[in-house]
């Protein structure tokens, strides 16, 4: 949990200002911002670049019902472009793969791009085979042919907590394993990202391994200048 509504609007406004140079150079990388639910509408109002999309940090698996405090995918239609699902911090609190699968179905039904996280909280349990199994479980009940796009994020919780990203060669192994599942399920459009301890310094080293399509940025995204440095690296 970070940022009040005014803080989120100020942060995104400064990021938007910094992206003007990217637009002039026509090399603006696709950026998806995921502020808290409370700030989604105000942040939407300050977005100016076509390459900047908005995501919710979660969505509920039911479209309607007695789920006080939850936000359903239909409530997010027209407000966001994507939904984060199965974030490692939510999994740490007990969110299971079958729940993530139901949320993915709901998000896709509402026309949102699902951003699905895989990765284990314990380094000793974190293997490419385990990541494949988790992704298959999440996708096995989903009509993948109806998915216009899928974004898969390999983000092990231990890397986020320590602030030290996984080695690039290991990230490549995970990315290859996840792409195998994507290919098996014949998902037409999919991206594989890495998250966990990513900042401008780490990203330079991680980008030497061109096995991923981009990053999920955590704490570094709260500093607009740090965020823009990361964006510039991806745009090169």
Residues with catalytic roles: 87, 155
Rounded-to-integer distance, Cα 110 and Cα 15, Å? 28
End-to-end CA distance of the chain: 31
DSSP string computed for 4-19:
-HHHHHHHHHHHHHHT
Residue 164 backbone phi and psi in degrees, to 5 = -110, 115
Cβ partners under 8 Å of residue 133, min gap 6: none
Strands 52-56 and 82-85: parallel
């Amino acid at each position: 949990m970070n940022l009040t509504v005014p803080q989120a609007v100020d942060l995104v406004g400064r990021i938007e200002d910094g992206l003007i140079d990217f637009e002039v150079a026509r090399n603006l990388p696709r950026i998806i911002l995921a502020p808290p639910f409370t700030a989604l509408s105000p942040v939407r109002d300050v977005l100016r670049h076509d390459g900047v999309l908005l995501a919710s940090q979660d969505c509920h698996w039911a479209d309607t019902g007695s789920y006080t405090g939850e936000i359903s995918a239909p409530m997010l239609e027209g407000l966001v472009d994507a939904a984060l699902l199965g974030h490692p911090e939510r999994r740490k609190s007990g969110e299971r793969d079958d729940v993530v699968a139901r949320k993915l179905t709901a998000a896709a039904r509402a026309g949102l791009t699902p951003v699905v996280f895989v990765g284990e909280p314990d380094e000793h349990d974190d293997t490419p085979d385990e990541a494949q199994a988790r992704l298959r479980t999440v996708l096995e009940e989903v009509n993948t042919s109806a998915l216009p796009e899928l974004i898969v994020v390999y983000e092990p919780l231990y890397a986020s907590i320590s602030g030290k990203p996984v080695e690039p060669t290991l990230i490549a192994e995970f990315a290859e394993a996840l792409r195998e599942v994507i290919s098996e399920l014949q998902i037409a459009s999919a991206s594989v990202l890495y998250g966990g301890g990513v900042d401008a310094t780490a990203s330079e080293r991680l980008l030497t391994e061109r096995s991923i399509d981009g990053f999920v940025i955590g704490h570094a995204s709260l500093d607009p200048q740090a965020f823009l440095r990361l964006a510039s690296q991806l745009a090169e």
